[in-house]
Amino acid sequence: MTQPCQAAPGAGAGDNFDGLPRVRMTMAGMTFKDLPPRASEIPLTNRRVAADVIDLIIGDTDRATGCVALMICDAEDRGIQPILLHDVPPDAEATGLAQLLGMLLPLVADNDGSILIGRGRPRGTAPDDVDRDWHQLAIDRCADHEVDLLGFYLATGDGVFRLPEPLTAAS
């Protein structure tokens, strides 16, 4: 029997529905139940794992309304703190991301950490000019602060897509 996902009475964001009876549910994307054991110990240098983390952080509603997500990582590139900003219009300029990175990257650099970034928007399978501007800004700011950018992903209702590495890293 397939049922749509629904929250338990009184459930909040991040609740994993352990109290619900075990029924098969149809869900798009990754869920907290899909995480492997000891997921917090897995470095996010693997592209598939990084894409799964972005898929997990940026839910369908966030994609529909637009958002930006960051996963702050430790010195071993393991995710330690997700950050999600909601209601970011698809045509938003990168200045907001610049301000956010300006606050976070010095702290990440001080701890020899790294960062993973995702941008959520309703639709599309290829980056547009705004996505490319955000991506380039992330590359430049991370380089300025000597913080490894583990990846920049576009998360839409159509899937999760990695933007290319900077040319210096790709060549």
- Return the domain boundaries, the chain: 45-170
pTM of the model: 0.78
Q: Rounded to an integer, what distance in angstroms lies between the CA atom of residue 50 and that of residue 148? A: 14
Q: What is the mean pLDDT of the chain?
A: 82
- Name the 3-class secondary structure at 64: helix
Residue pLDDT, tens place only, 20-64: 333 322 234 555 566 667 777 889 999 999 999 999 999 999 999
Closest CA to 151 of 65, 36, 73: 73
Q: Is the pLDDT of residue 116 over 80?
A: yes
Looking at residue 162, its pLDDT comes to: 96
Which CATH fold would you assign to the domain 45-170? Answer: Cytidine Deaminase; domain 2 (3.40.140)
Specify the pairing of strand 25-26 against strand 79-86.
unpaired
Instruction: Report yes or no: 20 and 55 within 8 Å, Cβ to Cβ.
Output: no
**pLDDT class of 2 with cuts at 50, 70, 90:** very low
CA–CA distance, 111 with 126 (Å, rounded to integer): 34
Mean local confidence (pLDDT), 11-22: 37
Q: pLDDT tens digits, residue range 83-115?
A: 999 999 989 999 999 999 999 999 999 999 999
